[in-house]
Chains A and B, each alone.
Chain A
């Protein structure tokens, strides 16, 4: 018998009697008066930044200025300008030079400051992790109270990869001292469009 059959048979023999799946009653779950305020407060407590903007005009200007600075800046948001599709095929040692990346998110979560990003929104799976500074853009109407509503809104298996990102990369592995910028982005700013 193969390992697979051995394991599955042993489990089938030893598992307890079938019981029901619990019903997750969302009425029992916290709601926030102002989801954006909660989102911003939590995000800033974990090292990120949030800013409310009325439209993308400000960001367009910022992107142009960033690109002119000579740094390697990647845009993945169609509404902001040309998308840098060439990074889809770049190897890691090239992507490692990315200073800043502009990426659109799908859903924001008020309870923990996390933003969901699909693979198609980041052009290359490495970009939101390997860039030095991360800019995420979400719509205010897409901020939900908790993870329960987030999973209700999202089909997480729709694409090959997707991620909740909550603030910049961090570690406290040396004497529990919080250091921002472990391996991933050193900063994370989330622009929320009203």
Chain B
């Protein structure tokens, strides 16, 4: 493991006002989600339906995928299957090569981030323009998105202004979001009009009809897909749902959970290519079938990528998306990524307070905090935990299972904290970092209880 959440978070929180701003901004989004959810008396029922439809889908996934493929082919869509990120990237590259295409636009797709498609294509001399405003900003800055719905949420408008001044020649120091968005609109409209191939993600794929739905607020997926001669939609296989009528449940849940909007501006239903257009769907596994076989973790595949768990998470809000060093950050990322690479992502399930807020806001009722706790156990038993933490846990386990020893150490500890505070309050103690140590009481609760119980009786 080269980078760890705690180390990256330390860098993020070094700028205290910015950390506070990040925390408050995301909490504001969470509050908007609450308002939208409370506007529907049936909200909890809706979550239950969302959860049950996804459970059903996972229990019959192989059949639904076959049904989807059959119907998509009948609609004139070409269907591809990729076992992993490499195969996915090769399939996309093959289509691009076949058409000798140079100009490509891409709307937001977390799957292509997961597969590092942009880097792969760039390596082969093909430039991809990300068209979601937030993604374009971070692409200019050569950074990954820090949030799956709000890719540039780690940046202030001054940062965006400087980036646009450099790349789009906007006025230096003009930080007006309206002005900056207009500049991006003009810049990207040119890109759309010129492009020959559009890549989009998929929010939902419908087995019954062989079509798929893409949701955006900006309209960038549509601008790209309806202009280009070739449209490639990339999806993880868990995006499937059984029937079109089930979209009602998910479209009601998605935007309300994500940003507090009643629905995204555009919910586009693609079923057939337009005349003379080629439409491709790439269905990707990349570890998902393995996750499906892990009983404790399989229902992480129900995720609809709304990011409600990010916005509510006290750790995410105060550590920023980049500290998770993966395409999907936040609590859901911390239960998905150990499946992809347990060693590299062994730190992530520990980047949580296990407070459970993520599970409470999840629109499809994934037990995120329980899975974080379960991953910790798997990671420790597989030996992917730092020696210091392992020794500490072993020591604590010994102490807590020996009451006499526990009482003795407690007594010594309380006494030494009072007599030699510097022994505890020093840099060698990680608990002292950015924390005040509590004042040590003279007696333990047990001593107090025994004394008082005797007095009473």
Residue among B53, B60, B210 with most chain A CB within 10 A: B60
Provide the bound-state CA to CA distance between A113 and B137, in Å: 30
Q: Given A3-B87, A22-B52, A22-B53, does the pair A170, B265 have CB atoms closer than 8 Å?
A: yes
- Chain B residues contacting A176 (CB-CB under 8 Å) are 25, 28-29, 150, 153
Q: Would A126 and B218 count as touching, CB distance under 8 A?
A: no
Q: Would B227 and A181 count as touching, CB distance under 8 A?
A: no
- Chain B residues contacting A60 (CB-CB under 8 Å) are none
B365 to chain A, nearest CB (A): 12
Which residue of the partner chain, among B177, B223, B248, contacts A179 with CB atoms under 8 Å? B177
Q: Given A7-B83, A13-B293, A22-B56, does the pair A184, B134 have CB atoms closer than 8 Å?
A: no
- Chain A residues contacting B242 (CB-CB under 8 Å) are 21
**Stretch of B2-10, B185-193, B332-340 contacting A (4+ beta carbons < 8 Å):** B185-193
Provide the bound-state CA to CA distance between A12 and B289, in Å: 9
A82 proximal to B (CB < 8 A) = no
B400 proximal to A (CB < 8 A) = no
A108 proximal to B (CB < 8 A) = no
Which residue of the partner chain, among B55, B252, B289, contacts A7 with CB atoms under 8 Å? B289
Q: Given A114-B263, A167-B265, does the pair A182, B133 have CB atoms closer than 8 Å?
A: yes
**Stretch of A49-57, A73-81, A148-156 contacting B (4+ beta carbons < 8 Å):** A148-156
Q: Would B81 and A160 count as touching, CB distance under 8 A?
A: no
Q: Would B220 and A125 count as touching, CB distance under 8 A?
A: no
Q: Would B181 and A174 count as touching, CB distance under 8 A?
A: yes
Provide the bound-state CA to CA distance between A183 and B218, in Å: 5
Q: Would B192 and A173 count as touching, CB distance under 8 A?
A: no
Residue among B226, B264, B268, B295 with most chain A CB within 10 A: B226
Provide the bound-state CA to CA distance between A151 and B244, in Å: 7
A182 to chain B, nearest CB (A): 4
Which residue of the partner chain, among A17, A20, A181, contacts B181 with CB atoms under 8 Å? A181
Which residue of the partner chain, among A4, A24, A164, A171, contacts B263 with CB atoms under 8 Å? A164
- Within 107-164 of A, Cβ neighbours of B (below 8 Å) are at 109, 111-114, 124-126, 129-130, 146-148, 150-152, 156-157, 159-164
Q: Would B62 and A171 count as touching, CB distance under 8 A?
A: no
Provide the bound-state CA to CA distance between A45 and B61, in Å: 39
B151 proximal to A (CB < 8 A) = yes
Contact mask for chain B residues 228-258; partner A; CB cutoff 8 A; 1 contact, 0 none: 0000000001000010110111011000000
- Within 46-67 of B, Cβ neighbours of A (below 8 Å) are at 48-49, 52-53, 55-56, 58-62, 65-66
Contact mask for chain A residues 6-17; partner B; CB cutoff 8 A; 1 contact, 0 none: 111011111111
Chain A contact patch, size range: 35 or more
B377 to chain A, nearest CB (A): 21
Q: Would A168 and B265 count as touching, CB distance under 8 A?
A: yes
Q: Given A15-B62, A176-B150, A183-B220, does the pair A161, B265 have CB atoms closer than 8 Å?
A: no
Q: Which residue on chain A has the smallest CB distance to residue B245? A: A151
Q: Would B266 and A130 count as touching, CB distance under 8 A?
A: no
In the complex, besides A170-B218, A171-B134, 17 extra interface pairs with C-beta distance below 8 angstroms are A10-B289, A10-B293, A14-B293, A22-B53, A24-B49, A29-B42, A113-B262, A125-B226, A151-B245, A161-B274, A162-B268, A163-B268, A165-B265, A170-B265, A174-B180, A177-B178, A181-B181
The residues of A with any CB-CB pair to B shorter than 8 Å are: 2-4, 6-8, 10-22, 24, 28-30, 42, 46, 92-93, 96, 109, 111-114, 124-126, 129-130, 146-148, 150-152, 156-157, 159-177, 179, 181-185
| Cross-chain pairs A/B with CB under 8 angstroms, 22 sampled | A7-B81, A7-B289, A8-B66, A15-B58, A15-B62, A17-B59, A22-B56, A24-B245, A109-B263, A112-B252, A112-B263, A126-B227, A151-B245, A160-B272, A161-B268, A169-B218, A174-B152, A176-B153, A177-B177, A182-B181, A182-B217, A183-B218
